[in-house]
């Protein structure tokens, strides 16, 4: 299950530490340095897209923002080319 980067993300509203926000592209991201590990985001996400991360509290799809080519790994690695990536305004 991947994050849907909701228009009105419940995970972001429920985060007591302010660790969940939108970046300049509109992607919902988690600042692992601010996360206090309360797991409220896991409980409030209606899609079950946020999971435990043994090293840094929680994790979710962030559209591979840290990849140099900007292409999400799931799209690039899909053997049937069923996933597509497109920019939306």
**Which token pair is 70?**
């900007």
Query: What's the pLDDT at 88?
Result: 66
Name the pTM for this structure. Answer: 0.79
Residues of the chain with pLDDT under 50: none
**Alpha-carbon gap, residue 53 to 16, rounded angstroms:** 18
Residue with tokens 């999400």: 72
**Which token pair is 16?**
């007591």
**Alpha-carbon gap, residue 63 to 65, rounded angstroms:** 5
Query: What's the pLDDT at 70?
Result: 76
Tell me the three state secondary structure of residue 82. Answer: coil
Query: What's the pLDDT at 79?
Result: 94
**Alpha-carbon gap, residue 53 to 50, rounded angstroms:** 9
């Amino acid at each position: 299950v991947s994050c849907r980067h909701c228009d009105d993300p419940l995970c972001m509203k429920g985060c007591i530490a302010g660790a969940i926000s939108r970046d300049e592209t509109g992607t919902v991201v988690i600042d692992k340095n601010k996360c206090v590990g309360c797991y409220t985001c896991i409980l409030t996400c209606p899609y079950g897209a946020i999971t435990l991360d043994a090293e840094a509290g929680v994790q979710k799809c962030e559209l591979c923002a840290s990849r140099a080519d900007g292409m999400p790994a799931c799209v690039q690695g899909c053997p049937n080319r069923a996933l597509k990536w497109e920019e939306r305004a």
